[in-house]
Amino acid sequence: MTSLKQSLKLAALGLAAVAAAVGLSTALPLPSQAQTGLTIFGGVETEYRLGYLIDFNYPFSTNARYYLNIMRTKLPRDVISLEIDYPDTFTEIGGRFDPNAIELRSGDWRGRDVIPVKAIDWIEAENRIEIIPEAPIPANTNLVVVMSNVRNPRRYGYHYFNLRMMFQGDVVNQYAGTWPMEIAADRNQRR
């Protein structure tokens, strides 16, 4: 009987240690879009993770602005078109884009000079946006896709936007990376 009590005590101590470890792991701060680091359970591999910024990032904001950064290492050759696809969940819970308020800029973070575009098409049925510049974008150029007047979804969530680009001389788009976006994150702001 004594050994049974000792076994139960040891099991209880083991469970307490596991509970303490779980408690410590939940007390760690949540990552924001500016942080990078170790992803334990899935996510976007570091080499394909693209940076971004969002202005007015609260639920159902009608004037959110997304700055989707594309670093120059993603442009080994001249680019003739860009394609951004997004998940169904973005529009299912109220997210919308204004294709007339999308532009390409050179530079990083918020961008600098506007790059003239021939066409910007929002193909809602296929959850994608196509951007065709007037002239090929030179290799090794930092780019920013700026989406203004975006209506954020009603609820907070992570939405993975994927980038594909067509390079000069190619006939198909090639995957370049993913923006793992935390959208409608600032729940304390009001419209």
pLDDT tens for the 191 residues of the chain, in order: 445 445 444 444 443 443 333 333 333 333 334 333 444 456 899 999 999 999 999 999 999 999 999 999 999 999 999 999 999 999 999 999 999 999 999 999 999 999 999 999 999 999 999 999 999 999 999 999 999 999 999 999 999 999 999 999 999 999 999 999 999 987 655 43
Question: Tokens 């935390």, residue?
Answer: 182
Q: Which of these CATH numbers, 2.60.40.740, 3.40.50.1820, 3.40.50.620, 2.60.40.10, describes 49-183? A: 2.60.40.740
Q: Distance (Å, rounded) from C-alpha 123 to C-alpha 159? A: 18
Contact call for residues 71 and 49 (beta carbons, < 8 A): no
Predicted TM-score (pTM) of this structure: 0.76
Q: What is the model's pLDDT at position 39?
A: 45
Q: Distance (Å, rounded) from C-alpha 156 to C-alpha 172? A: 34
Closest CA to 163 of 86, 101, 84: 84
Report CA dihedral (167, 170, 173, 176) to the nearest 10 degrees: -40
Report CA dihedral (85, 104, 174, 46) to the nearest 10 degrees: -80
Domain boundaries, the chain: 1-29, 49-183
Q: Is the dihedral of CA 10, 16, 18, 24 positive or negative?
A: negative
